[in-house]
C-alpha cells in the first residue's frame, strides 16, 4: 500500500519482545471493544454510556466489585489451566469438564462427611476445607490425565478428547444433582445440596482465600517457565516436539504432566466457584454458566501469550467485563447473552490479530531508493 512517497510493507518478525506483545494484545482488546460497540448500537444503546456503566459497576460499585474479584480468581485459574498445555503446544479446552469434576469431588468430600442437608450443623472446617480443595484438584486431574495420556501415548487429537470429556462431565453433573442423584438437594429443585455454614471458605474482606492460591499459582508458574528445567522442557517440546524427543525429552511425560497441572488448576476453579464464592455454595441448576465462563480462560491465555503474570490483569479485565456486561444487560434492557456475544467478538478479533504477532507493518520511504526522474 502506498501513501505518498511512503510504502507500507509487511515484514516477518524474527523475535517478539514482551512489550511488543503487550502492545498488540492491548490493541486487540481495544479493537474488539470498538467492534462490540456495534452490538450496543444495534440494540439502540449508547456505546459510551454502556461501557461507562460496565466499568463503573465492575470496578467501582460496592456490589459489583466483589463479584468481579470472584470472577477474576476463577478466570485466572482457568487461564493458567489453558496456558500450561499451550506452552507445550497442546490445547486444553477441557477446563469446563475439569472444573465440573473438581466441583463434584469437593462435594463428594462433603457427602462422605454426611454434610448433606444440615445447613447449620457444625463441622471441623479446618479439616474438611483443605480436603475439599485437594479433592477438587485430584478429581480434575483424573479427567485431565485421560486427555494428556491419549495425546502423548497414542497421538489422539486433544481438542476432540477434551471436548468429549466436557460433555461427559456435563451430563454426569446433571446425574449427580438432578432426578434423585446422590448430591440432589433434599428440597429437590434440580440442584445440589448446600454447604453447611461452618464449611464456607474463609473470607478476607469478602474475598475468599482462593485468591491467594490463584495469584500464588500464577507467580509460581511464571517462575517454573522462566527458571526451571521442567519449564524449559515444556517450552522446548512446544516449539518442536520432534527435536525435543531427540534431546531426550519424553513426549508422553510432557503431555501427561501439562494436562495434570492444568487440570488441577481448573479443578481448583471449580472448587472456587461452587464452594467459595459468597452467595453460591452449591452446584446450581444453571451450572452450565460457570462451564461456559471457563472459555474466557482460553481468551485470557491467548491474549497474555502464555505468560501467567500477564494473565493477571487480563483476567481482571474480563472478570469485570463479563460481570458488568450482565449488569448493563439488565439496566439498559438489552437482549440476553451480552457476555456471550462479547466472548465471540473478542475471540475472532484475537484470531485476526494473531497475524500481527508474526508480522510487523513497516513504513518504508521509497523516495530514497527510487528518486523521481
Q: How far is the CB of 83 from another protein (least distance, A)?
A: 15
Q: How many residues does the chain have?
A: 373
Q: Decide: helix, strand or coil at residue 184.
A: strand
Q: Which is closer to another protein, CB of 94 or CB of 308? A: 94
Q: Which is closer to another protein, CB of 146 or CB of 211? A: 146
Q: State the Cα–Cα distance between residues 337 and 233, nearest whole angstrom.
A: 41
Stretch near another protein under the rule CB under 8 A, chosen from 65-73, 174-182, 218-226, 238-246: 174-182
CB neighbour list of residue 266: distance below 8 Å, 6 or more residues apart: 77, 78, 81, 92, 94, 95, 98, 99, 102, 140, 144, 294, 297
Q: What residues from 71 to 100 belong to the interface with another protein (CB under 8 A)?
A: 91, 93
Q: State the Cα–Cα distance between residues 273 and 281, nearest whole angstrom.
A: 8
Binding mask 149-168 for another protein (x = CB under 8 A): -x---xxxx-xxx-xxx-xx
Q: Is 116 in the site for another protein (CB under 8 A)?
A: no
Q: Is 341 in the site for another protein (CB under 8 A)?
A: yes
Of the residues 95, 218, 275, 350, which one makes contact with another protein according to CB under 8 A:
350
Q: State the Cα–Cα distance between residues 32 and 120, nearest whole angstrom.
A: 47
Q: State the Cα–Cα distance between residues 288 and 59, nearest whole angstrom.
A: 25
Q: How far is the CB of 372 from another protein (least distance, A)?
A: 33
Q: Is 111 in the site for another protein (CB under 8 A)?
A: no
Binding mask 286-305 for another protein (x = CB under 8 A): ------x--x--xx--x---
Q: Is 332 in the site for another protein (CB under 8 A)?
A: no
Of the residues 29, 45, 146, 211, which one makes contact with another protein according to CB under 8 A:
146
Whether 65 contacts 58, CB under 8 Å: yes
Burial tier of 87 (Cβ tally within 10 Å: 0-12, 13-18, 19+): buried
Stretch near another protein under the rule CB under 8 A, chosen from 122-130, 219-227, 314-322, 330-338: 330-338
Q: Is 41 in the site for another protein (CB under 8 A)?
A: no
Q: Is 143 in the site for another protein (CB under 8 A)?
A: no
The widest CA-to-CA distance across the chain, in whole angstroms, is: 92
Q: Which residue has the cell 477434551?
A: 162
Whether 359 contacts 12, CB under 8 Å: yes
Whether 106 contacts 195, CB under 8 Å: no
Q: How far is the CB of 213 from another protein (least distance, A)?
A: 27
Q: How far is the CB of 266 from another protein (least distance, A)?
A: 17
Q: State the Cα–Cα distance between residues 259 and 94, nearest whole angstrom.
A: 10
Q: Is 252 in the site for another protein (CB under 8 A)?
A: no
Of the residues 33, 108, 111, 181, which one makes contact with another protein according to CB under 8 A:
181
Number of residues lying near another protein (CB under 8 A) = 48
Stretch near another protein under the rule CB under 8 A, chosen from 179-187, 224-232, 261-269, 307-315: 179-187
Give the number of other Cβ atoms within 10 Å of residue 38's Cβ.
11
Q: How far is the CB of 363 from another protein (least distance, A)?
A: 20
Which of 149, 326, 160 lies closest to 252 in space, CA to CA?
A: 149
Q: State the Cα–Cα distance between residues 34 and 258, nearest whole angstrom.
A: 35
Stretch near another protein under the rule CB under 8 A, chosen from 119-127, 190-198, 259-267, 353-361: 353-361
Q: Is 344 in the site for another protein (CB under 8 A)?
A: yes
Q: State the Cα–Cα distance between residues 302 and 357, nearest whole angstrom.
A: 11
Residues that bind another protein (CB under 8 A): 39, 91, 93, 146, 150, 154-157, 159-161, 163-165, 167-168, 171-172, 174-175, 178-181, 292, 295, 298-299, 302, 335-338, 340-345, 347-348, 350-352, 354-355, 358
Amino acid at each position: 500500500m502506498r501513501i505518498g512517497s511512503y510504502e507500507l510493507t509487511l515484514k516477518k518478525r524474527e523475535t517478539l519482545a514482551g512489550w511488543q506483545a503487550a502492545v498488540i494484545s492491548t490493541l486487540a482488546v481495544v479493537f474488539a471493544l470498538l467492534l462490540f460497540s456495534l452490538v450496543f448500537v444495534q440494540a439502540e444503546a449508547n456505546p459510551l454510556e454502556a461501557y461507562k456503566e460496565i466499568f463503573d459497576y465492575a470496578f467501582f460499585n460496592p456490589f459489583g466489585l466483589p463479584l468481579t474479584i470472584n470472577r477474576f480468581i476463577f478466570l485466572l485459574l482457568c487461564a493458567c489451566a489453558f496456558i500450561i498445555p499451550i506452552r507445550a503446544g497442546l490445547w486444553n479446552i477441557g477446563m469446563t469438564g475439569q472444573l465440573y469434576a473438581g466441583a463434584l469431588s469437593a462435594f463428594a468430600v462433603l457427602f462422605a462427611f454426611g454434610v448433606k442437608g444440615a445447613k447449620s450443623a457444625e463441622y471441623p472446617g479446618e479439616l474438611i476445607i483443605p480436603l475439599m480443595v485437594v479433592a477438587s484438584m485430584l478429581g480434575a486431574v483424573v479427567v485431565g490425565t485421560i486427555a494428556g495420556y491419549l495425546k502423548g501415548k497414542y497421538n489422539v487429537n486433544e481438542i476432540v478428547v477434551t471436548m468429549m470429556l466436557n460433555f461427559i462431565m456435563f451430563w454426569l453433573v446433571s446425574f449427580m444433582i438432578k432426578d434423585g442423584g446422590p448430591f440432589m438437594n433434599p428440597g429437590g429443585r434440580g440442584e445440589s445440596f448446600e454447604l453447611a455454614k461452618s464449611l464456607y471458605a474463609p473470607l478476607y474482606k469478602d474475598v475468599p482465600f482462593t485468591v491467594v492460591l490463584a495469584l500464588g499459582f500464577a507467580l509460581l508458574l511464571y517462575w517454573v517457565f522462566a527458571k526451571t528445567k521442567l519449564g524449559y522442557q515444556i517450552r522446548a517440546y512446544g516449539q518442536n516436539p520432534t527435536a525435543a524427543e531427540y534431546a531426550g525429552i519424553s513426549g508422553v511425560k510432557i503431555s501427561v504432566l501439562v494436562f495434570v497441572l492444568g487440570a488441577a488448576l481448573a479443578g481448583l476453579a471449580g472448587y472456587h466457584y461452587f464452594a467459595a464464592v459468597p452467595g453460591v455454595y452449591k452446584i446450581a441448576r444453571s451450572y452450565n454458566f460457570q462451564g461456559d465462563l471457563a472459555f474466557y480462560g482460553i481468551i485470557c491465555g491467548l491474549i497474555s501469550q502464555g505468560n501467567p503474570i500477564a494473565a493477571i490483569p487480563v483476567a481482571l479485565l474480563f472478570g469485570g467485563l463479563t460481570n458488568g456486561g450482565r449488569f448493563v444487560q439488565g439496566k439498559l434492557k438489552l437482549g440476553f447473552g451480552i457476555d456471550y456475544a462479547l466472548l465471540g467478538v473478542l475471540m475472532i478479533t484475537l484470531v485476526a490479530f494473531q497475524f500481527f504477532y508474526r508480522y510487523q507493518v513497516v513504513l518504508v520511504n521509497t523516495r530514497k531508493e527510487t528518486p523521481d526522474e
